[in-house]
Amino acid sequence: MKKKISRRDFLKLAGASAATGAALTGCGPSSRFVVREPYTQMPEYALIGESTFYATTCRECAAGCGLIVRTFQGRAIKVEGNKNNPVNLGKTCARGQATLQGLYNPDRVTDPLNQGRRKTLGTDGMNWDDAIKVVSDALANTDPAGIGFLLGMAPDHLFDLVSDLTAGIGAPAPVRYGALSAFEARATLVKAAENVLGQSGLPFFDLANAELTFSFGANFLETWLSPVAYTRGFSKMRKQGKRGYLVQFEPRMSQTGAKADEWIPVRPGTEGMVALALGKLIAESKKQTVPRAFVNVDVKAVAKESDVDEEKLHYLADLFADADRALAIPGGAALGQSNGLGTAEAVLALDALANNFGQPGGVFLSPAAPTEDNVHRPASLQEMAVFINKMNTGEIKTLLIHGVNPVFELPKSLGFEAALKNVPLVISFSTFPDETAILSDYIFPDHHGLESWGYQRVATGTSQSTLSGAQPVVSPFYNTQSTADVLLAASAIAGGKLASVLPFKDEVEYIQAQLIPLIENKDANFNAGEINSFSAYFQQFGGWWTNEAALLAPTQNTLNETLSVESPTYEGEGDFFLVPFVSPVLGEAGANKPSLQEVPDPTTTVMWNSWVEINPETAHEFGIKSGDIIKIVSNVGVIETSAYLYPAIRPDTIAIPFGQGHKAYGRYAAGRGVNPFDLLGLKFNAAGDIAFAGMKVQIIKTGKKFELARMESEIGVYGEGLGEE
């Protein structure tokens, strides 16, 4: 059992570890004259020649999966899922597996830098005392109203710490953002839940027990909310007594669509209308009176507008009506439309019609977070727009950025990069030299996630109320410092109000202070009487969670109010709907991991690059062949990338993955592929999320060609070059 170990002690414990990895030489016996360095002081729990396993939390996305990291002689060797963590139960996704290539990435920020907004990563190193002085001065000398904190998506301890700090000194609350939250349309989902379910919060869909699932754009097997948790749910759904049936409504077949039993290619933006029409037909099929929510729907008109046959609608309605445990899930691109909020409400109304609120295989509200949670969701893009406006007007004097890469993760049209110029002082705490970091005045690199302490509230994905715990698995590889420590130290130096707001010695002490309220709750995975033991258990188990499911059953039933989904409006001129989607493999920040770059995309098997998906029929019409470089023109931008003739996309739609197109971010990411955010306009839906799937674009053949690296064979899979059969 572990005692409380302060982080600095830990550094000494893990010590200067082995250099055994340095000269692993392949199949020759030339590993002969290798220097072997033993620990200077061996950690008491380490055994020579045996691996040590640490429980921590995955930081690759905000889902909060628990990890067990195998370390050997002070090196992290392998990431495995934490079997106890209720989010992932021992499983991981590809991104989680590759997290070690972030830790040992050859392109990390190794020292605190006086970056000075250079074009490339600066070499002007500083020492940490000066760095902390810079932060301290910034915090002390800026008018509190002029301090802007921009943090990553995850609701973690740093967010709590910064929230306490800003609240204490009267600065604006920190803003959390991540590209994933825009693609998930989280704000819309939360808003719709508030409207339909009567409570604010992220809905939890009990996929595991559903017999029939209609998913409207929710790509829950890839990146949506908590992919590993939903994949487990999917697996259980398929394995249950009567094999669960999945119908996916989306214009472009996602990986989830590929696993669905039926894929309904609806016109982008009409998902909500289809849901309403289905609601009417289901009620009719069930021989019920059509609830008021659905009475205004003209099924014929919907069929016409959505490009789904009336017959098909009838068939689907019967399917839904006959199912014992039917579930409808709104999400993803369906909500990223001008009518996204209406769509989300309409789909949730289907759940209401199925009467599955709080039932197995139905809709719940995610459990309340174990610790206090001020702002439960990341900022919507509209809120980001407001933030950027504040930057432009000079309202923000000092901007501190951590865990997010807004230059890359925000649509170009929002003008974040330009707005940065209007902020006098920008400090980045990025671990990697990403686009935002190199445009900052200073980079004070945080540890990699696997080198740092922390906790993270699990927003959704499990029925238990969960706080996922993080601890360093290796000693920091470079001269980096925890951002929390930097802020604490800076506050302490600044003195005055700043010091009194955060009277903590270091990060670990802060975390422990936050954990104290949990000791009370005895119905959890472990019990401890006092904080030191509690803290040790917390690290050992990789977090804290309730034993019992803590899901909340929605109460409100909205079927008696008329629902309507207006026709979607699209921005831009062009023949094609543009559907950007997050690369299921890379996510928003995986591009700098070489092995992840080489993991093929599940649906297209493309590696190492971006592509644009076009229906083969359309491509044929335009004379586009596989691998032709295509110019995609929207009203705000132009990008060029190779065409992938994708059989499962609407002929009037093209799709581009998000995840590549970095200009910085290390050797494996920079200069590779394109960023579809360059094309997006500034249309928001009623909940403030960007209508990212509501663009119309033009495509122009450039005559250039670049063959994509594909795992699949074009000959074997598409019969390319096999001649006429």
Partner 1 sequence: MAFKNHIEETHGEQHLRQKHLMLDPKPRGEMNAMVMEAMHTTTWKFWVVVALLSAVVLFGLFWSWGILIAEGMGVAGVNRPSYWGIFLVNTVFWIGISHAGTFISAILRVFKAEFRRPFTRAAELMTTFGLIQAGFSIFMHMGRVWRMYWLMPYPNQRLLWPNFHSPLTWDLLAITTYLLSSTMYLYLPLIPDLAMARDRTKGGWQKIFYRVLALGFRGTEGEWKHLRSAMNIFAWAIIPIMFSVHTIVSWDFAVATRPGWNSTIFGPYFIIGALHSGMGAVIMVLAVVRGTMKNMKYFIRPEHFEAIGKLMLIISMGWAYFFFNDFIVQWYGGDKWTQTLLHYHESGPLGYLWFFMLFVNIVIPWSVLWNKRWRSTPWIVFIVGLLINVGMWIERYIIIPISLTINRSPFTWKLYQPGIEIPLGIGTVALFILLYLAASKLIPLIPVWEVQEGQMAHSLKKYGRESVVTVSELE
Partner 2 sequence: MVKKIFSWLISPLGWISLLILALIVFSGIIWGINLTQITPEQPIEFPHDRHISFGIQCLYCHQGASRGPVAGLPTQTKCWGCHQQLGITKTSVLLKPLVQAIEKNEPIQWIPVATVPDFVKFNHRPHIAASLNCEACHGDLSKLTIYENPQILNMGWCLDCHVEKAGDDYEKLVKLTDCGTCHY
Partner 3 sequence: MKPIDLNIIGAKGAIAEEAEGKWGMAIDEDLCTGCQACVAACAMENNISFVGEEDAAYGRTMHWIRIERFWEGEYPDVRTTSFQPMLCQQCGHAPCEPVCPVFATVHSQADELNLQVYNRCVGTRYCGNNCPYQVRAFNWRDYERPEPLNNQLNPDVTVRQRGVMEKCTFCIQRIHQAEDTAKSEGRELQDGEFDPACAQACPADAIVFGRVDDPDSKVSQLSRQKRGVKHLEDLATLPRITYLKES
**If we measure between CA atoms, which residue out of 692, 694, 706, 415 comes closest to residue 569?**
694
What's the closest the beta carbon of residue 711 comes to partner 1, in angstroms?
Answer: 8
723 binds, among partner 1, partner 3, partner 2, none (CB under 5 to 8 A by kind): partner 1
- Nearest residue (CB) to partner 2, 38 versus 170: 38
For residues 22 to 51, the per-residue mask of contacts with partner 2, x marking binding by CB under 8 A and - elsewhere, is: --xxxxxxxxxxxxxxxxxxx----xxxx-
Task: Select the span of 111-119, 120-128, 656-664, 704-712 touching partner 3 (CB under 8 A).
Answer: 704-712
- Nearest residue (CB) to partner 3, 117 versus 667: 667
What's the closest the beta carbon of residue 30 comes to partner 3, in angstroms?
Answer: 10
- 389 near partner 3, judged by CB under 8 A: no
Cβ contact 684:382 at 8 Å: yes
H or E element, residue 621: helix 616-621
- Nearest residue (CB) to partner 3, 502 versus 699: 699
Ramachandran region of residue 660, left (φ > 0), alpha (ψ -120 to 50) or beta? beta
What's the closest the beta carbon of residue 15 comes to partner 2, in angstroms?
Answer: 8
114 binds, among partner 1, partner 2, partner 3, none (CB under 5 to 8 A by kind): none
Task: Select the span of 22-30, 138-146, 420-428, 543-551 touching partner 3 (CB under 8 A).
Answer: 22-30
Cα–Cα dist 93/80, whole Å: 10
- Nearest residue (CB) to partner 3, 523 versus 617: 617
- Nearest residue (CB) to partner 3, 24 versus 520: 24
Give the residues across from 57 on adjacent strands. Answer: 66
Residue 158 burial by CB count (10 A; 0-12/13-18/19+): exposed, middle or buried?
buried
What's the closest the beta carbon of residue 716 comes to partner 1, in angstroms?
Answer: 3
The tokens of 448 are what?
A: 């990699």
Cα–Cα dist 273/344, whole Å: 10
Name residues whose C-beta falls within 8 Å of residue 310's C-beta, 6 or more positions apart in sequence: 299, 300, 303
- Nearest residue (CB) to partner 3, 18 versus 375: 18
Cα–Cα dist 707/720, whole Å: 13
Cα–Cα dist 204/170, whole Å: 35
526 binds, among partner 3, partner 1, partner 2, none (CB under 5 to 8 A by kind): none
Residues 468 to 487 in contact with partner 3, rule: CB under 8 A: 477
What's the closest the beta carbon of residue 644 comes to partner 1, in angstroms?
Answer: 16
- 599 near partner 3, judged by CB under 8 A: yes
Task: Select the span of 104-112, 323-331, 518-526, 549-557 touching partner 3 (CB under 8 A).
Answer: 104-112
- Nearest residue (CB) to partner 2, 73 versus 483: 73
- 651 near partner 3, judged by CB under 8 A: yes
User: How long is the chain?
Assistant: 725
- Nearest residue (CB) to partner 3, 143 versus 617: 617
Compute how many residues bind partner 2; rule: CB under 8 A: 25
Name residues whose C-beta falls within 8 Å of residue 484's C-beta, 6 or more positions apart in sequence: 157, 158, 161, 453, 454, 506, 507, 510
- Nearest residue (CB) to partner 2, 45 versus 287: 45
- 243 near partner 3, judged by CB under 8 A: yes
Task: Select the span of 228-236, 407-415, 561-569, 691-699 touching partner 3 (CB under 8 A).
Answer: 228-236
Cα–Cα dist 451/456, whole Å: 15
Strands 398-402 and 363-365: unpaired
Task: Select the span of 86-94, 335-343, 364-372, 506-514 touching partner 3 (CB under 8 A).
Answer: 86-94
Residue 644 burial by CB count (10 A; 0-12/13-18/19+): exposed, middle or buried?
buried
Name residues whose C-beta falls within 8 Å of residue 95's C-beta, 6 or more positions apart in sequence: 58, 60, 61, 585, 586, 587, 590, 596
Name residues whose C-beta falls within 8 Å of residue 507's C-beta, 6 or more positions apart in sequence: 7, 157, 452, 453, 454, 482, 484, 485, 488
- 26 near partner 3, judged by CB under 8 A: yes
What letter represents residue 596's amino acid? L
Cα–Cα dist 32/280, whole Å: 76
Cβ contact 634:578 at 8 Å: yes
Name residues whose C-beta falls within 8 Å of residue 548's C-beta, 6 or more positions apart in sequence: 464, 523
- Nearest residue (CB) to partner 3, 117 versus 620: 620
47 binds, among partner 3, partner 2, partner 1, none (CB under 5 to 8 A by kind): partner 2
The tokens of 248 are what?
A: 């996916």
Ramachandran region of residue 461, left (φ > 0), alpha (ψ -120 to 50) or beta? left
Among 6, 8, 16, 553, binds partner 2 (CB under 8 A): 16
Task: Select the span of 140-148, 409-417, 689-697, 710-718 touching partner 3 (CB under 8 A).
Answer: 710-718
The tokens of 321 are what?
A: 């009506």
7 binds, among partner 2, partner 1, partner 3, none (CB under 5 to 8 A by kind): none
Cβ contact 106:666 at 8 Å: yes
Sign of torsion over alpha carbons 484, 486, 489, 491: negative
What's the closest the beta carbon of residue 264 comes to partner 3, in angstroms?
Answer: 8
- 424 near partner 3, judged by CB under 8 A: no
Task: Select the span of 376-384, 392-400, 535-543, 643-651 touching partner 3 (CB under 8 A).
Answer: 643-651
What's the closest the beta carbon of residue 208 comes to partner 3, in angstroms?
Answer: 12
- Nearest residue (CB) to partner 3, 430 versus 603: 603
- Nearest residue (CB) to partner 3, 223 versus 398: 223
Q: Which residues bind partner 1 (CB under 8 A)?
A: 27, 711-713, 715-717, 721-725
- Nearest residue (CB) to partner 3, 301 versus 715: 715
What's the closest the beta carbon of residue 119 comes to partner 2, in angstroms?
Answer: 39
Among 4, 118, 133, 238, binds partner 3 (CB under 8 A): 238
Cβ contact 99:449 at 8 Å: yes
Sign of torsion over alpha carbons 684, 689, 693, 697: positive
- 241 near partner 3, judged by CB under 8 A: no
Residues at the interface with partner 2 (CB under 8 A): 15-16, 24-42, 47-50
